[in-house]
Amino acid sequence: MKYLICGLGNMHIDYMGTRHNIGFEVADALAQKHRGQWSPDTHCHKTTIKIKNKTLIIIKPTTFMNLSGKAVRYWMQKEKVELNHILVVTDDLNIDFGTIRLKPGGSDGGHNGLKDIQTMLGSVQYPRLRIGIGADFSKGRQVNYVLSKWTDQESKWIPEILEASVKAIETFSLEGISSGMNKYNSFKISNP
């Protein structure tokens, strides 16, 4: 049973530690927990891990965020992964910082990475794990906000968010999305 886990972000060093790259951070945390070794591959950095009897192909697209669909479609087709076994991990302005949401599908919510994936897959019905980054910015400052680094206070909570996100991905892979949603969509950081 194969799953394709795609963490969204931008590879360039300038984007490391920014809100927009939380998908990469989750992918890294998942790979690290299961001793995955990253290597450059077509349109991405990739590692493959096993969790019980499931194979998880984890990718971090190197196409830049707005062209993420190219990598997702390529590896979905190459590895013959079903649409409902894809999980895209992304930042989300529309949910509060310190919360996560598993969803079986839905709109792109104005996120250009999700928009491209939707276009390339020809569907909005692919699972995603949305990591809340909040919307603490003034009008017209959205781009600056998502591409800015976590505050010192937020940085203290990132390990807890990463741990919950990794567990949500493991549950999605082993028990299905409904079980993952039931267990983790109520997650909140312990000291907001």
Q: Is domain 2-184 annotated with CATH 3.40.50.1470? A: yes
Distance CA 58, CA 96 (A): 26
Average pLDDT along the chain: 94
Q: What integer pLDDT is reported at residue 190 of this predicted model?
A: 81
Q: Are 184 and 41 in contact (CB under 8 A)?
A: no
Q: Decide which of 1 and 163 is more confident.
A: 163
- Per-residue pLDDT of 6-17, as tens digits, reads 999 999 888 999
Segment 105-133 mean pLDDT:
94
Q: Which residues pair with 59 in a beta bridge?
A: 6, 46
Res 192 pLDDT > 60: no
Distance CA 15, CA 53 (A): 35
pTM of the model: 0.95
Percent with pLDDT over 70 in the chain: 99
Closest CA to 135 of 18, 19, 16: 19
CA atoms within 13 A on the CB side of 130: 27
Q: Is 20 a catalytic residue?
A: yes
Residue 94 has which token pair?
């529309």
Closest CA to 124 of 139, 143, 111: 111
Q: Which residues pair with 54 in a beta bridge?
A: 51
Distance CA 43, CA 72 (A): 9
Of the listed 20, 45, 85, 111, which one is catalytic? 20
Highest mean pLDDT among 36-50, 103-117, 132-146: 36-50
Segment 104-120 mean pLDDT:
93
Outline where DSSP puts E strands in the chain: 2-7, 39-41, 44-51, 54-61, 86-92, 100-103, 128-132
| Lowest-confidence pick of 4-8, 12-16, 117-121, 164-168 | 12-16
Q: What integer pLDDT is reported at residue 139 of this predicted model?
A: 79
Segment 21-25 mean pLDDT:
97
Closest CA to 106 of 97, 95, 98, 139: 95
> Residue ranges of the domains in the chain?
2-184
| Band (86; pLDDT cuts 50, 70, 90) | very high
| Band (143; pLDDT cuts 50, 70, 90) | confident
H/E element, 52? none
Distance CA 121, CA 15 (A): 26
- Per-residue pLDDT of 31-70, as tens digits, reads 999 999 999 999 999 999 999 999 999 999 999 899 999 9
Q: What integer pLDDT is reported at residue 140 of this predicted model?
A: 77
